[in-house]
Amino acid sequence: MGVRPGKLKVFLGAAPGVGKTYRMLDEGRRRARRGTDVVVAYAECHARPHTEEKLEGLEILPRTHREYRGGTFSELDLDGVLARHPEVALVDELPHTNVPGGRNAKRWQDIEELLAAGIDVVTTVNVQHLESLNDVVEKITGVPQRETVPDDVVRRAHQIELVDMPAEALRRRMAHGNIYQPEKVDAALAHYFRVGNLTALRELALLWVAGRVDETLQKYRSDHGIGTVWETRERVVVALTGGPEGETLIRRAERIADRSSGGDLLAVHVARSDGLADASPAALAKQRALVESLGGSYHSVVGDHVPTALLDFARAENATQLVLGTSRRSWLSRLLAPRGIGEDTVELSGDIDVHMVTHEGAG
Protein backbone atom coordinates (compact mmCIF):
# COMPACT_ATOMS: atom_id res chain seq x y z
CA MET A 1 0.00 0.00 0.00
CA GLY A 2 1.43 3.40 -1.03
CA VAL A 3 2.18 6.35 1.22
CA ARG A 4 -0.72 8.75 1.76
CA PRO A 5 0.37 12.10 0.31
CA GLY A 6 0.63 14.88 2.84
CA LYS A 7 -1.84 17.78 2.91
CA LEU A 8 -0.77 21.33 2.11
CA LYS A 9 -2.08 24.39 3.91
CA VAL A 10 -1.16 27.84 2.57
CA PHE A 11 -1.38 31.18 4.36
CA LEU A 12 -1.80 33.63 1.46
CA GLY A 13 -0.82 37.18 2.33
CA ALA A 14 -2.43 40.19 0.68
CA ALA A 15 0.85 42.12 1.17
CA PRO A 16 4.18 41.83 2.98
CA GLY A 17 3.88 42.29 6.73
CA VAL A 18 0.27 41.18 7.23
CA GLY A 19 1.37 38.34 9.52
CA LYS A 20 1.68 35.14 7.46
CA THR A 21 4.65 33.71 9.35
CA TYR A 22 3.02 34.61 12.67
CA ARG A 23 -0.14 32.77 11.64
CA MET A 24 1.84 29.76 10.38
CA LEU A 25 3.70 29.43 13.69
CA ASP A 26 0.49 29.97 15.66
CA GLU A 27 -1.11 27.16 13.65
CA GLY A 28 1.86 24.93 14.49
CA ARG A 29 1.55 25.69 18.21
CA ARG A 30 -2.17 24.86 18.17
CA ARG A 31 -1.54 21.52 16.43
CA ALA A 32 1.30 20.70 18.82
CA ARG A 33 -0.97 21.36 21.81
CA ARG A 34 -3.40 18.82 20.35
CA GLY A 35 -0.62 16.22 20.35
CA THR A 36 0.45 16.44 16.70
CA ASP A 37 4.15 15.95 15.92
CA VAL A 38 5.05 19.41 14.52
CA VAL A 39 8.46 20.80 13.56
CA VAL A 40 9.64 24.18 12.30
CA ALA A 41 11.54 23.18 9.18
CA TYR A 42 12.11 26.78 8.07
CA ALA A 43 10.78 30.07 9.44
CA GLU A 44 11.90 33.56 8.47
CA CYS A 45 10.95 35.93 11.32
CA HIS A 46 12.81 39.01 9.97
CA ALA A 47 13.79 39.92 13.56
CA ARG A 48 10.15 40.68 14.45
CA PRO A 49 9.81 40.08 18.21
CA HIS A 50 6.12 39.09 18.18
CA THR A 51 6.79 36.52 15.46
CA GLU A 52 9.90 35.15 17.19
CA GLU A 53 7.87 34.60 20.36
CA LYS A 54 5.73 32.10 18.46
CA LEU A 55 8.78 29.84 18.02
CA GLU A 56 8.85 29.13 21.74
CA GLY A 57 7.92 25.54 22.58
CA LEU A 58 8.24 24.32 18.97
CA GLU A 59 10.94 21.93 17.78
CA ILE A 60 13.18 23.80 15.32
CA LEU A 61 15.12 21.64 12.89
CA PRO A 62 18.67 22.66 11.92
CA ARG A 63 19.14 24.30 8.53
CA THR A 64 21.71 23.34 5.95
CA HIS A 65 24.35 25.85 4.81
CA ARG A 66 25.65 26.38 1.30
CA GLU A 67 28.51 28.42 -0.08
CA TYR A 68 27.69 30.64 -3.05
CA ARG A 69 29.70 33.45 -4.64
CA GLY A 70 31.82 33.98 -1.59
CA GLY A 71 28.93 33.96 0.91
CA THR A 72 27.34 31.38 3.19
CA PHE A 73 23.57 30.96 3.09
CA SER A 74 21.19 28.91 5.25
CA GLU A 75 18.53 26.84 3.54
CA LEU A 76 15.82 24.30 4.35
CA ASP A 77 17.47 20.96 5.07
CA LEU A 78 15.20 18.82 2.93
CA ASP A 79 16.96 15.53 3.70
CA GLY A 80 16.97 16.36 7.41
CA VAL A 81 13.20 16.92 7.40
CA LEU A 82 12.60 13.71 5.45
CA ALA A 83 14.77 11.79 7.93
CA ARG A 84 12.97 13.30 10.94
CA HIS A 85 9.61 12.64 9.19
CA PRO A 86 7.26 14.66 11.42
CA GLU A 87 3.51 14.65 10.98
CA VAL A 88 3.57 18.37 10.14
CA ALA A 89 6.39 20.59 8.85
CA LEU A 90 6.18 24.39 8.95
CA VAL A 91 8.00 25.73 5.89
CA ASP A 92 8.00 29.49 5.33
CA GLU A 93 8.28 31.37 1.99
CA LEU A 94 6.95 28.99 -0.65
CA PRO A 95 8.29 30.95 -3.71
CA HIS A 96 11.89 31.10 -2.38
CA THR A 97 14.67 30.32 -4.88
CA ASN A 98 17.17 27.91 -3.36
CA VAL A 99 20.88 28.60 -3.37
CA PRO A 100 22.51 26.32 -5.96
CA GLY A 101 23.80 23.09 -4.46
CA GLY A 102 20.59 21.29 -3.53
CA ARG A 103 18.59 19.02 -5.79
CA ASN A 104 15.68 21.46 -6.25
CA ALA A 105 15.80 24.97 -7.65
CA LYS A 106 12.72 26.21 -5.73
CA ARG A 107 11.36 25.70 -2.25
CA TRP A 108 7.95 24.70 -3.58
CA GLN A 109 9.69 21.71 -5.18
CA ASP A 110 11.18 20.81 -1.78
CA ILE A 111 7.68 21.00 -0.31
CA GLU A 112 6.33 18.69 -3.00
CA GLU A 113 8.90 16.08 -1.91
CA LEU A 114 7.75 16.42 1.70
CA LEU A 115 4.12 16.00 0.66
CA ALA A 116 4.98 12.94 -1.46
CA ALA A 117 6.64 11.42 1.63
CA GLY A 118 3.36 11.75 3.56
CA ILE A 119 4.31 14.85 5.59
CA ASP A 120 1.69 17.57 5.98
CA VAL A 121 3.09 21.03 5.23
CA VAL A 122 1.97 24.50 6.35
CA THR A 123 3.54 27.28 4.28
CA THR A 124 3.23 30.96 3.32
CA VAL A 125 3.17 33.06 0.16
CA ASN A 126 2.24 36.64 -0.75
CA VAL A 127 -0.19 37.32 -3.58
CA GLN A 128 2.45 39.26 -5.54
CA HIS A 129 4.45 36.04 -5.97
CA LEU A 130 1.69 34.14 -7.81
CA GLU A 131 2.84 33.60 -11.39
CA SER A 132 -0.44 34.65 -13.03
CA LEU A 133 -0.45 37.99 -11.19
CA ASN A 134 3.22 38.83 -11.66
CA ASP A 135 2.80 41.39 -14.44
CA VAL A 136 -0.31 42.92 -12.86
CA VAL A 137 1.49 43.46 -9.55
CA GLU A 138 4.44 45.07 -11.31
CA LYS A 139 2.09 47.54 -13.02
CA ILE A 140 0.46 48.38 -9.68
CA THR A 141 3.59 48.72 -7.56
CA GLY A 142 6.33 49.37 -10.11
CA VAL A 143 8.35 46.59 -8.46
CA PRO A 144 9.15 43.43 -10.48
CA GLN A 145 8.89 40.14 -8.55
CA ARG A 146 11.85 37.90 -9.31
CA GLU A 147 10.57 34.97 -7.25
CA THR A 148 7.27 33.44 -8.33
CA VAL A 149 5.37 30.22 -7.75
CA PRO A 150 3.03 28.55 -10.29
CA ASP A 151 -0.60 29.19 -9.38
CA ASP A 152 -1.36 25.49 -9.71
CA VAL A 153 1.00 24.66 -6.83
CA VAL A 154 -1.05 26.89 -4.53
CA ARG A 155 -4.43 25.91 -5.98
CA ARG A 156 -3.72 22.24 -5.21
CA ALA A 157 -3.49 23.05 -1.50
CA HIS A 158 -5.92 21.26 0.77
CA GLN A 159 -6.64 24.59 2.48
CA ILE A 160 -5.86 28.23 1.64
CA GLU A 161 -6.31 30.88 4.32
CA LEU A 162 -6.15 34.55 3.36
CA VAL A 163 -4.17 36.76 5.75
CA ASP A 164 -5.55 40.25 5.18
CA MET A 165 -5.41 43.68 6.78
CA PRO A 166 -6.84 47.11 5.85
CA ALA A 167 -4.29 49.36 4.15
CA GLU A 168 -4.21 51.98 6.91
CA ALA A 169 -3.75 49.34 9.63
CA LEU A 170 -0.82 47.83 7.73
CA ARG A 171 0.75 51.27 7.29
CA ARG A 172 0.42 51.86 11.05
CA ARG A 173 2.11 48.53 11.69
CA MET A 174 4.88 49.64 9.34
CA ALA A 175 5.21 53.06 11.03
CA HIS A 176 5.50 51.39 14.45
CA GLY A 177 8.52 49.43 13.23
CA ASN A 178 6.78 46.05 13.31
CA ILE A 179 7.66 45.12 9.70
CA TYR A 180 10.92 46.77 8.56
CA GLN A 181 13.88 48.30 10.31
CA PRO A 182 13.41 52.04 11.15
CA GLU A 183 15.73 53.26 8.38
CA LYS A 184 13.56 51.56 5.73
CA VAL A 185 10.13 52.68 6.97
CA ASP A 186 9.82 56.09 5.31
CA ALA A 187 10.83 54.81 1.87
CA ALA A 188 8.46 51.83 2.14
CA LEU A 189 5.49 54.02 3.14
CA ALA A 190 6.19 56.41 0.26
CA HIS A 191 6.50 53.71 -2.38
CA TYR A 192 5.39 50.06 -2.11
CA PHE A 193 3.18 50.60 0.95
CA ARG A 194 1.11 53.46 -0.49
CA VAL A 195 -2.59 53.14 0.29
CA GLY A 196 -3.48 52.70 -3.40
CA ASN A 197 -0.96 49.87 -3.84
CA LEU A 198 -2.08 48.03 -0.72
CA THR A 199 -5.76 48.39 -1.61
CA ALA A 200 -5.15 47.00 -5.11
CA LEU A 201 -3.08 44.08 -3.76
CA ARG A 202 -5.79 43.30 -1.25
CA GLU A 203 -8.42 43.27 -4.01
CA LEU A 204 -6.23 40.97 -6.13
CA ALA A 205 -5.86 38.54 -3.23
CA LEU A 206 -9.59 38.49 -2.54
CA LEU A 207 -10.43 37.91 -6.22
CA TRP A 208 -7.81 35.14 -6.56
CA VAL A 209 -9.10 33.32 -3.49
CA ALA A 210 -12.71 33.75 -4.66
CA GLY A 211 -11.75 32.16 -7.97
CA ARG A 212 -10.11 29.25 -6.19
CA VAL A 213 -13.20 28.74 -4.01
CA ASP A 214 -15.34 28.75 -7.14
CA GLU A 215 -13.13 26.06 -8.73
CA THR A 216 -13.45 23.92 -5.61
CA LEU A 217 -17.22 24.38 -5.60
CA GLN A 218 -17.48 23.40 -9.27
CA LYS A 219 -15.42 20.26 -8.65
CA TYR A 220 -17.57 19.30 -5.67
CA ARG A 221 -20.78 19.74 -7.69
CA SER A 222 -19.32 17.68 -10.53
CA ASP A 223 -18.01 14.91 -8.26
CA HIS A 224 -21.36 14.62 -6.49
CA GLY A 225 -23.54 14.95 -9.59
CA ILE A 226 -25.22 18.14 -8.36
CA GLY A 227 -27.05 19.83 -11.22
CA THR A 228 -28.97 22.47 -9.29
CA VAL A 229 -27.61 26.01 -9.12
CA TRP A 230 -25.91 27.10 -5.90
CA GLU A 231 -26.13 30.88 -5.77
CA THR A 232 -22.76 31.61 -4.15
CA ARG A 233 -22.50 34.71 -6.38
CA GLU A 234 -24.10 35.96 -9.57
CA ARG A 235 -22.78 34.32 -12.73
CA VAL A 236 -24.46 35.79 -15.77
CA VAL A 237 -24.38 34.01 -19.14
CA VAL A 238 -25.20 35.97 -22.29
CA ALA A 239 -26.14 34.01 -25.42
CA LEU A 240 -24.62 35.38 -28.64
CA THR A 241 -25.70 34.53 -32.18
CA GLY A 242 -23.36 36.90 -33.99
CA GLY A 243 -26.37 39.07 -34.82
CA PRO A 244 -26.45 42.87 -34.52
CA GLU A 245 -28.12 42.68 -31.11
CA GLY A 246 -24.98 41.18 -29.54
CA GLU A 247 -23.51 44.37 -28.12
CA THR A 248 -26.83 45.34 -26.53
CA LEU A 249 -27.10 41.93 -24.86
CA ILE A 250 -23.49 41.98 -23.65
CA ARG A 251 -23.85 45.40 -22.04
CA ARG A 252 -27.16 44.43 -20.40
CA ALA A 253 -25.59 41.23 -19.00
CA GLU A 254 -22.55 43.17 -17.78
CA ARG A 255 -24.80 45.60 -15.88
CA ILE A 256 -26.62 42.66 -14.23
CA ALA A 257 -23.31 41.08 -13.20
CA ASP A 258 -21.94 44.42 -12.04
CA ARG A 259 -24.83 44.94 -9.64
CA SER A 260 -23.58 41.91 -7.71
CA SER A 261 -20.20 42.39 -6.03
CA GLY A 262 -17.84 39.87 -7.58
CA GLY A 263 -20.35 38.83 -10.27
CA ASP A 264 -19.04 37.02 -13.36
CA LEU A 265 -19.89 37.62 -17.01
CA LEU A 266 -19.72 34.68 -19.44
CA ALA A 267 -20.65 34.84 -23.12
CA VAL A 268 -21.51 31.72 -25.10
CA HIS A 269 -22.17 30.97 -28.76
CA VAL A 270 -23.85 27.70 -29.73
CA ALA A 271 -22.40 26.33 -33.00
CA ARG A 272 -24.09 23.68 -35.08
CA SER A 273 -22.66 20.15 -34.94
CA ASP A 274 -22.73 19.78 -38.75
CA GLY A 275 -20.07 22.50 -39.01
CA LEU A 276 -22.21 24.79 -41.14
CA ALA A 277 -21.61 28.43 -40.25
CA ASP A 278 -24.77 30.10 -39.00
CA ALA A 279 -23.11 33.27 -37.68
CA SER A 280 -20.68 35.92 -38.89
CA PRO A 281 -17.16 35.08 -37.61
CA ALA A 282 -16.23 38.76 -37.82
CA ALA A 283 -19.26 39.80 -35.74
CA LEU A 284 -18.54 37.11 -33.12
CA ALA A 285 -14.89 38.17 -32.94
CA LYS A 286 -15.95 41.76 -32.32
CA GLN A 287 -18.42 40.68 -29.64
CA ARG A 288 -15.80 38.46 -28.03
CA ALA A 289 -13.42 41.43 -27.83
CA LEU A 290 -16.15 43.48 -26.12
CA VAL A 291 -16.86 40.73 -23.59
CA GLU A 292 -13.19 40.39 -22.71
CA SER A 293 -12.73 44.16 -22.46
CA LEU A 294 -15.48 44.12 -19.81
CA GLY A 295 -13.64 41.45 -17.84
CA GLY A 296 -15.81 38.54 -19.03
CA SER A 297 -14.94 35.27 -20.73
CA TYR A 298 -16.06 33.94 -24.12
CA HIS A 299 -17.04 30.33 -24.82
CA SER A 300 -18.27 28.31 -27.77
CA VAL A 301 -20.25 25.08 -27.47
CA VAL A 302 -21.68 22.69 -30.04
CA GLY A 303 -25.33 21.68 -30.11
CA ASP A 304 -28.26 21.28 -32.47
CA HIS A 305 -30.90 22.20 -29.89
CA VAL A 306 -29.89 25.69 -28.79
CA PRO A 307 -31.97 25.96 -25.58
CA THR A 308 -30.61 22.66 -24.25
CA ALA A 309 -27.02 23.58 -25.17
CA LEU A 310 -27.35 27.00 -23.52
CA LEU A 311 -28.80 25.62 -20.32
CA ASP A 312 -26.32 22.73 -20.13
CA PHE A 313 -23.51 25.27 -20.36
CA ALA A 314 -25.14 27.58 -17.79
CA ARG A 315 -25.64 24.76 -15.27
CA ALA A 316 -22.09 23.47 -15.76
CA GLU A 317 -20.83 26.96 -14.93
CA ASN A 318 -23.21 27.29 -11.95
CA ALA A 319 -24.77 30.32 -13.65
CA THR A 320 -27.62 32.12 -11.91
CA GLN A 321 -28.91 34.18 -14.85
CA LEU A 322 -29.13 33.85 -18.61
CA VAL A 323 -29.53 36.77 -21.02
CA LEU A 324 -30.72 36.33 -24.59
CA GLY A 325 -32.36 38.50 -27.21
CA THR A 326 -35.94 38.35 -28.31
CA SER A 327 -36.50 36.60 -31.62
CA ARG A 328 -35.38 38.22 -34.89
CA ARG A 329 -37.89 36.08 -36.82
CA SER A 330 -40.53 37.86 -38.85
CA TRP A 331 -44.15 38.03 -37.67
CA LEU A 332 -45.10 35.53 -40.39
CA SER A 333 -42.57 32.88 -39.32
CA ARG A 334 -43.65 33.35 -35.71
CA LEU A 335 -47.26 32.90 -36.77
CA LEU A 336 -46.43 29.61 -38.51
CA ALA A 337 -44.19 28.36 -35.67
CA PRO A 338 -44.99 30.40 -32.55
CA ARG A 339 -42.42 28.75 -30.25
CA GLY A 340 -38.84 29.96 -30.60
CA ILE A 341 -35.54 29.54 -28.79
CA GLY A 342 -36.49 32.04 -26.09
CA GLU A 343 -39.75 30.34 -25.19
CA ASP A 344 -38.13 26.88 -25.07
CA THR A 345 -35.25 28.21 -22.94
CA VAL A 346 -37.63 29.79 -20.42
CA GLU A 347 -39.64 26.57 -20.16
CA LEU A 348 -36.52 24.44 -19.56
CA SER A 349 -34.62 26.92 -17.39
CA GLY A 350 -35.63 25.61 -13.96
CA ASP A 351 -33.83 27.63 -11.26
CA ILE A 352 -31.90 29.83 -13.73
CA ASP A 353 -33.43 33.29 -14.28
CA VAL A 354 -33.86 34.08 -17.98
CA HIS A 355 -33.84 37.69 -19.24
CA MET A 356 -35.37 38.25 -22.68
CA VAL A 357 -33.97 41.54 -23.99
CA THR A 358 -35.70 43.49 -26.74
CA HIS A 359 -33.49 45.12 -29.38
CA GLU A 360 -33.65 46.90 -32.72
CA GLY A 361 -33.32 43.68 -34.68
CA ALA A 362 -36.32 42.01 -33.01
CA GLY A 363 -38.90 40.67 -35.45
Instruction: Report the pLDDT value the prediction gives residue 228, as an integer from 0 to 100.
Output: 52
Q: Where in the chain is the domain with CATH 3.40.50.620?
A: 235-357
Q: What's the pTM?
A: 0.62
Q: How far is CA 200 from CA 31, 167, 194, 263, 308, in A?
A: 34, 10, 10, 18, 40
Instruction: Report the pLDDT value the prediction gives residue 334, as an integer from 0 to 100.
Output: 46
- Residue 235 contacts residue 320 (beta carbons within 8 Å): yes
Q: Dihedral angle at the C-alpha atoms of 341, 343, 344, 348, nearest 10 degrees?
A: 130
Nearest partner of 345 among 296, 297, 312, 298, judged by Cα: 312
Q: Where in the chain is the domain with CATH 3.40.50.300?
A: 8-222
CATH of domain 235-357: 3.40.50.620
Q: How far is CA 30 from CA 36, 58, 213, in A?
A: 9, 10, 25
The DSSP code for 355 is E
Render each residue's pLDDT in the chain as its tens digit; 363 residues: 578 999 999 999 989 999 999 999 999 999 999 999 999 999 999 888 889 999 999 999 999 999 998 999 999 999 999 999 999 999 999 999 999 989 999 999 999 999 999 999 999 999 999 998 888 888 888 888 889 999 999 989 999 999 988 889 999 988 888 888 888 888 888 888 888 888 888 888 887 887 654 555 455 455 656 455 444 457 889 989 888 888 989 998 888 887 765 578 999 998 876 555 566 788 899 999 999 888 889 998 888 788 888 888 888 887 888 888 876 544 444 444 445 676 777 777 766 888 888 755 444
Nearest partner of 328 among 237, 239, 253, 268, judged by Cα: 239
CB atoms closer than 10 angstroms to residue 29:
16
**Strand 235-239 to 264-271 pairing:** parallel
Instruction: Report the pLDDT value the prediction gives residue 32, as an integer from 0 to 100.
Output: 96
The domain covering 8-222 belongs, at the CATH homologous superfamily level, to P-loop containing nucleotide triphosphate hydrolases (3.40.50.300)
